[in-house]
A and B are shown apart, each in its own frame.
Chain A
């Protein structure tokens, strides 16, 4: 059971890490438009300008 002494602190570190990543993602507006990018990937931009 000694592994618990490692895993519990590790999980704590992970929790705060994930929290920080999520905070960053929201701040950067990653969740602002959930629908647009899904459609955007279907459009082939390279045809642009070729007519």
Chain B
């Protein structure tokens, strides 16, 4: 009661508090959690917030509340129990996750979760610095990463993690730093080259502009001084910044291949050498300014292109980093729940592993204990967490966002779905698409033609005006770089692939995007593609047996009891529909493959399954009700020794978006076909419902293959959409095969495109992005040809100075790369409904 009084007193000074002081959520009416800060009590919403807030106050860190500019995120206010951290206390694990920092000091990189504003960084830093044994903390606000050094004799990694968790954040050792290191150093080197070129360019301009402005009035001595100064400044630009161009040209020359680096290196080399000669001789023109500017602008265009590629592969890297390094294995499950930390590479099939909330699933497996929600967004693009309970499959690399789970490992290492996805992505990256090969070939011919033109220009100008011949030739070489051909096409393809991955669409072959954009016919499989493949209970009809008629709920409870241990899709539907209040226990449970199940409940012997199978037990003719069942549903009977008990009817429901996808594909001018091995009347029914005119049922795999071949003979570009397992032949024959992927099948899939999210509407996104990518590539090619058609003749006629040539060419490359980057914007916004509601609550 004290609390209430104090709260009332506080509310006299401040407006009545309706939100939690720590996390900002609305206060529940019966909340009685408080924290005293500087003598004023503040109400809190839950025990979790109370624990966190009290820890902050106890350590004298209340300025956090004065300086914070954002409220903490919701999840992290749930404190993790200290026991969770015992896992990191194992010396072997601690050694694996940290490195020796000299003497007794150890150092580890930590990933911090839950940082919302700069005050959080301060709070964590202060808390850790005050810990005995911690030698140094360095938190990067931008990357949410911390470097911690500690004295191994005085404290432990686990204690540090515990301290961070006690103030409401989640910290875990970050061990994939090495993977990122390579990408960062590449980027750093590129930035350095760019910086040196830019700096050199500006300084060279400073020396040479006065020479231009005074127009010969400058004394020869001073002019020579300016030239020497420019030469000294251009030296690092040519030797360091332009090194990749020379290296590329050298590589091309050795491979007897004409790449775009050849004319660039020739242009830079000639211009620089001629300028050096002119400087030493003290006569003739110098173009150090052109050289430096050309290098700078070219590097800028390359840097832009590199950024595009990096952003496209970033999802792939996140994926690779998603796999955790350590797992918590139960030594003797289920006898004891004692767990040990082991490195993931030591996990074996059949091991039992604990997956904590907030942790990633270490390998593929099946839930054997607990129920939770799993976030598979990085794998499938599906932003909603999926509920998982005993018997459900788990994909390695997905994130447990709910409760602790116990799983049995079913696949490890290279066999896991995550490894399969990464392999497919690698294959796609290594597979040069036709369109890029064409662009390469065109570029090579273009360079050859360009070199010939440059030679002709040099000879002709030598006759006309020998003093200008060199610089006109350099201008021709520089102005007409085939970057639009060689740079922009790969950039566009990478950007489109990256954007699609965010939609949960995996492109596994280089040609897939082009074929998808050009496809004229879409052939769909039915089961598992247009329909979910998961049976749904649509009707329960209790039947009058010899004794009495049971209620619907009783029938369902009996059926659920019989199917309790089964993994059949029909069993899932029955168990889900059964009332939770009644739980029958069955004995003598026997499964008959393909027909049904028999068991004893109470003292009645029951059978559930195909009508004929159940009729054998109850010895009665099939009931009238069975005849009234429509053709497009599946019927399952329940009967005991006295007679029929119930009739259950199931259907395979359409996937959400199936109708939209079919309609929108038709609007895009595509022909939609339905081809299925299922009963013709069911297929016709589905086709009618979706508005597909061309539907064929009862097709064998052979028929499907012939059907695709026939369409192709008529000149169709066929895209086949299937579940990737039943229609392998048809998928292989089609120009582009699209598979609905989920967990297990991904690793062995041979399809060109995989819809990881299992959402049909991702197909529409894929088709639209593929068309956009093709459009961008065509625009870029058109621009490149138009530009060169104008620029080369102008340069050959001597209207273009090397300076203008460099600027024009670099601007052209920049334009095409920027155009390709537009494709990246097609990624969907990655906000989950959950975080949306949290935002509302906070506001």
Contact = CB atoms under 8 A, between A and B. Distances in A.
A8 B118 contact: no
- B118, B143, B188 — most chain A CB neighbours (10 Å): B118
B105 interface: no
Contacts of A5: 222, 225
Contact of A33 (B142, B226, B232): B142
Interface string A6-40: 00110110010001001100100000111110111
Contacts of B140: 32-33, 36
Nearest to B129: A48
B624 to A, nearest CB: 76
Contacts of A49: 59-60, 130
Contact of B196 (A11, A19, A50): A19
A34 B196 CA distance: 22
B427 interface: no
Contacts of B59: 49
A43 to B, nearest CB: 5
Size bin of chain B's contact surface: 20 to 34
B838 interface: no
B303 interface: no
Contacts of A26: 188, 192
A25 to B, nearest CB: 12
B126 A12 contact: no
A40 B57 CA distance: 19
B389 to A, nearest CB: 42
A43 B61 CA distance: 10
A51 B60 contact: yes
Interface string B310-334: 0000000000000000000000000
A35 to B, nearest CB: 5
B164 interface: no
B207 interface: yes
A37 B775 CA distance: 45
B70 to A, nearest CB: 12
Given A12-B232, A35-B142, A44 B225 contact: no
B104 interface: no
A19 B126 contact: no
Contacts of B188: 26
Given A34-B142, A36-B139, A48-B130, A1 B219 contact: yes
B456 interface: no
Given A8-B225, A15-B233, A32-B142, A39 B207 contact: no
B119 interface: yes
A22 B196 CA distance: 11
B787 interface: no
A14 to B, nearest CB: 10
Contact of A44 (B63, B192, B195): B63
- A1, A19, A39 — most chain B CB neighbours (10 Å): A39
* Chain A to chain B: the 10 pairs with minimum beta-carbon distance, closest first: A39-B118, A36-B141, A33-B140, A43-B122, A51-B60, A49-B60, A33-B142, A8-B229, A35-B141, A15-B203
Given A5-B225, A19-B199, A39-B119, 17 more contacts: A1-B222, A8-B226, A11-B206, A12-B229, A15-B233, A22-B195, A26-B192, A33-B143, A35-B118, A35-B142, A36-B139, A36-B140, A39-B67, A39-B141, A40-B121, A44-B63, A48-B130
18 contacts: A5-B225, A9-B229, A11-B206, A11-B229, A12-B229, A19-B196, A26-B188, A32-B140, A32-B142, A35-B142, A36-B118, A36-B141, A38-B118, A39-B122, A42-B67, A45-B126, A48-B130, A49-B59
